[in-house]
Amino acid sequence: MDTCGDVRLSGPKVSVIITAYNRKEFLEQAIESILIQDMDPSVLEIIVVSNFELDSNLTSMGIKISSIVMEGTIGEFLYAGIRVSKSDLIAFLDDDDVFKPGKLRAVIDIFAENHDLCYYHNAPEYLNKYMEHINYVRLVESISNHSSESKLVVDIRSNIKSIKSAIDFNGDFNISCISIRRQSYLEYLPLLKQITSCPDGFFFWAAILLGGRMIIDGSKLTGYRVHSLNVSGSINFENKVNEIEKEIYTYDLFMSYIGQLNAQDDLYSYVRKWLLLYKLEHMLIANIFQEVPRNIIFIRFLELLRIGSDYSNALKYRIAVLTAIRILNAGLAQRIYMKLRSIQT
């Protein structure tokens, strides 16, 4: 029997869902980062959804770990974890990321203080594979000036334009920075099963469509590790394009879902434009690595400029510059991209 409709009123205060796919080498550090949270283990539960059996040392680390071994997409992994979770409060963690000290206490406290909160996002600290701090900026990342103490409260129904502020604060990036109130997302769980990538975008845009209250926190409570085995750190063209195509599929799912609602609400119209903007941005990044006619790239670029004019700071100058270079010289655009990645990783 599917229990996704049940409200968890007892048991652990927070469920941590870790997704792991073919990367055993990082998982122990991810779990250890939960164990050092200086919290009573009885208020926590750890659920690991992976495509491999957990080593015995991981199942004897001082706290009960529920293990789900399966094959599937990231959406199916997350759905499986949410389905068995015992708390209405869920924090996500990728196998290669870590929680910084105080992360889970902050999550529990902020949801306790905000009973209408459905989505919480803390800032990441970028780390290399040795867990050392690095200066890193993603190609599509806004460089915000908010301090580590700042918190942005997003109330969609009273201020649609707050979506733009949430994106400026990079509030839609990295599943390991995201915590949700499970009950708020029940209607979107069937859609979650369908996504093949971009789970961070899924939970962000689902919260937007719910019209729920969101908090984007500048506190760096998650360690995001940049390395050759994750998409952000990879300079493998084939892997990059494959992942981007999966992300575009997620945006298409949301746009199709909105279309089926046949709603004329200003919120839905505004969200559709943002999703199309994201789709175009991702297509242009993929075009750096693909054999695409220049006129097609140029048309997509003009469309990005047209839509992006409504969201000035969403039009990332790195994409604009690389697209212009790609139209003139594909090889040069690829070499510049590789140079950017190698400097940062």
Distance between CA 78 and CA 68 in Å, rounded? Answer: 11
Beta bridge partners of 155: 213
3-class DSSP state of 9: coil
The conformational region for residue 69 under phi > 0 = left, psi -120 to 50 = alpha, else beta, is beta
Q: Tell the CATH superfamily of the 14-225 domain.
A: Spore Coat Polysaccharide Biosynthesis Protein SpsA; Chain A (3.90.550.10)
**Per-residue model confidence (pLDDT) at position 343:** 53
The low-confidence residues of the chain, meaning pLDDT below 50, are 1-3, 7-9, 145, 233, 345
Q: List, in order, residues 6 or more apart from 231 with CB less than 8 Å away.
A: 239, 240, 243
* The token pair that represents 294 in the structure block: 């220049």
Strands 178-181 and 117-127: antiparallel
Per DSSP, 55 falls in state P
3-class DSSP state of 220: strand
Per DSSP, 10 falls in state S
**Per-residue model confidence (pLDDT) at position 14:** 96
**Per-residue model confidence (pLDDT) at position 319:** 80
Q: List, in order, residues 6 or more apart from 36 with CB less than 8 Å away.
A: 101
* The token pair that represents 216 in the structure block: 């984007």
> Among 174, 178, 177, 152, which residue's Cα sits nearest to residue 165?
152
> Among 174, 159, 17, 158, which residue's Cα sits nearest to residue 81?
17
Task: Give the CA distances from residue 109 to residues 39, 256, 267, in Å, rounded to whole numbers and listed in that order.
Answer: 13, 36, 30
**Per-residue model confidence (pLDDT) at position 2:** 44
| Domain locations along the chain | 14-225, 237-344
**Per-residue model confidence (pLDDT) at position 9:** 45
